[in-house]
Structure 1
Amino acid sequence: MSLISATNISVRYGANTVLRNVSLSVEPGEIVTIVGPNGSGKTSLLKAVIGAAQLAAGQVTQKPGLKIGYVPQRLHIDPTLPITVERFMRLTQRVDTKDCANALEAAGVPDLLKRQMSALSGGQFQRVLLARALINRPDVLLLDEATQGLDQRGSAAFYQQIETVRQDTGCAVLMISHELHVVMSASDRVICLNGHVCCEGTPAVVASAPEYRALFGSGTGGALALYRHDHDHDHDHDHACGHEAAE
């Protein structure tokens, strides 16, 4: 069964409807990327699927016993607070040093265990947040614009690490990206959101969809980075809002 399934969900804040009749599913081992303009409801959708936002309509179901790892957009720690990476990772969960070390290795930063959090670069900080999310071996990893504040090279390296995590652990990934030019090459599906699902499919399908181009344009500033993998060819028959993928 699907790890997470949302069916025709709507979310309102007061009189403002931020999501309307949105459906999505996350299957074991797949990577789903959500893109959309500011205010399109991306974070509200992520909150809805984990039960952190009240639904005005629709239904969300999770596989029984589902374990979720969450990497936030940002987390502020007082730079004067003396706290090591290991202690930070153990603040809210009972884990031993070996578990912390294994999670850091999975996140690509095996040498940071005894470093002070205040001494980390932005990229290292996000890797530690990733390690913290991985420590309990989740079935699905949720990332809310986890590369916010990183430069393009740092973002690309972080996304490559996410693909490595997927390959090594088999966990699924549901992530929000604000960087249309670095949508990760390994995404199995991209969902373009603007209060509702405008279009979805492989990165190539979404980039060719009129709905996507209406939101982001068709020039290099709005184009998805299309790094085609062999498995993409199997999905070229996918439809995006009824539009055939461009051959």
Structure 2
Amino acid sequence: MTLISAKNISVNHGNAIILQNVTLDINAGEIVTIVGPNGSGKSTLLRAFIGATPLKSGTLTRKDGLRIGYVPQKLHIDPTLPMSVARFLSIPLRVSASAAKDALEQAGSGALASRQMSDLSGGQFQRVILARALLGKPELLILDEATQGLDQPGSADFYRQIESLRETLGCAVMMVSHELHVVMAASDRVICLNGHVCCEGAPEVVASAPEYRALFGSGTQGALALYRHDHDHHHHAHDHEHEDA
């Protein structure tokens, strides 16, 4: 089932063309990653998908009543403001303690409810933001550079959490990331964007596409194999369903 379908969408910022004739679908239960150089329109595409950026042309259709959870690139909270994690999750809509606890556990941060937001590490903070996005029981989780500022093991753990959420909640995931090696392994489909869709497909297909190599070189192939090896140690039971690319 298609959750969101974009047909030939274009977005301008003033006179500058940010996105031109982008067509793509996000289907139930899949993990789709958008990669591309800086300024390629990745965040703009996500904002268009959540309805925060107007289209110049084209059409965007969403499944009726589609529930979207959004994890922004950066969220700034005044560090002098005393606010517990549980209180943060109850702004603007109050949530029950049990709903907050469930969302925190799903985000891999179950023990944090009573902690102060200002005391959290970068990784803990991101998991709380993820928990907040999960409160609405999303069918589609949209993440914009959600691991910016985390170290490599921290971001790998975060993406493993996203994969396990897809397994347990059945939600689709659409994410933008710079961490090509991790993302390539965690995705069912990769879309290479540079103002338009340069190439798309299974990670292995995109990693060897000339358009992708022109933008990123070929250095991620070895990293992809390395991550897969490490990843498979964590997921013996994972039936390699994505490897028949």
TM-score w.r.t. length of structure 2 = 0.92
CA displacement, residues 178-212 of structure 1 (integer Å, 9 cap, x when unaligned): 11122152311000000000000011000000000
Report sequence identity in percent. 65
User: Aligned equivalents of 1:171 and 1:230: distance in 2?
Assistant: 19
Would the aligned equivalents of 1:216 and 1:223 in 2 still touch at CA under 8 Å? no
Give matches, 1:63-212, under 5 Å. Answer: 63-212=63-212
Which contiguous aligned blocks of 4+ residues in structure 1 show a shift greater than 6 angstroms?
none
Equivalent residue number for residue 44 of structure 1: 44
How far residue 95 of structure 1 moved from its aligned partner, in angstroms, is 1.1
SS of aligned partner of 1:185:
helix
What's the CA shift for 1:225? 2.3
Q: For residues 233 and 131 of structure 1, what CA distance do their matches in structure 2 show? A: 30
1:2 and 2:2 matched? yes
Task: Give the structure with the larger helix fraction.
Answer: 2
Structure 2 gap ranges (5+):
230-238
Distance 1:114 1:23 in 2: 44
User: Are the counterparts in 2 of residues 203 and 224 from structure 1 also a CA contact under 8 Å?
Assistant: no
RMSD over aligned Cα atoms: 1.5
| CA drift at 1:224 | 6.3
TM-fit CA distance, 1:223: 6.7
The Cα shift of 1:72 comes to 0.7
Count the aligned residue pairs.
234
Q: Which deviations, in whole Å up to 9, do the C-alpha atoms of 1:13-52 show, x marking residues without a partner?
A: 1111010110111111100000000000000101111211
Note if contact 1:6-1:24 (Cα within 8 Å) is conserved in structure 2.
Answer: yes
Give the alignment's TM-score, normalised by structure 1: 0.91
Question: Structure 1 regions of 5+ residues with no counterpart?
Answer: 237-247
**Does the 8 Å contact 1:19/1:196 carry over to 2?**
yes
